[in-house]
Amino acid sequence: MGNTKAAKYNLGCGGECVDSLNCPYEVCLHDQKDVSVRTKQAEARREKVAVLWRSGMTYTEMAKELGVQQRTIARDVAEVS
Ligand SMILES: [Zn+2]
């Protein structure tokens, strides 16, 4: 019946929407997924930056190696050093 659906909707989006931009709920499942994926990617990148930075790589080299902007590298270095 409608009970399962109602319970799910109380927690916000259940993932039925196409994407978070079109989601009628404030807390969208797609947003939450994106955030956790992004966080994991950022953590993985920071670990790599830490290793490369200690090995003596420059910001430019690391940015090229990891496919991100130097600004991102600089922020990561500041956090790991
Ligand atoms: Zn949604």
pLDDT digits (tens, 9 = 90+) for 5-52: 544 444 577 777 887 788 888 778 877 777 788 888 899 999 999 999
Between 6 and 53, name the one with better pLDDT.
53
DSSP string, the chain: --HHHHHHHHTS--S-SSSGGG-SSSS-HHHHHHHHHHHHHHHHHHHHHHHHHHTT--HHHHHHHHTS-HHHHHHHHHHH-
Cα of 38 to ligand 1 centre, how many Å? 17
Cα of 37 to ligand 1 centre, how many Å? 16
pTM above 0.75, yes or no: no
4 pLDDT more than 80: no
Instruction: Compute CA 81 distance to the chain's CA centroid, rounded to the nearest angstrom.
Output: 22
From 47, 40, 41, select the one nearest 79 (Cα to Cα). Answer: 47
**Residues in the chain, overall count:** 81
Cα of 6 to ligand 1 centre, how many Å? 15
3 pLDDT more than 70: no
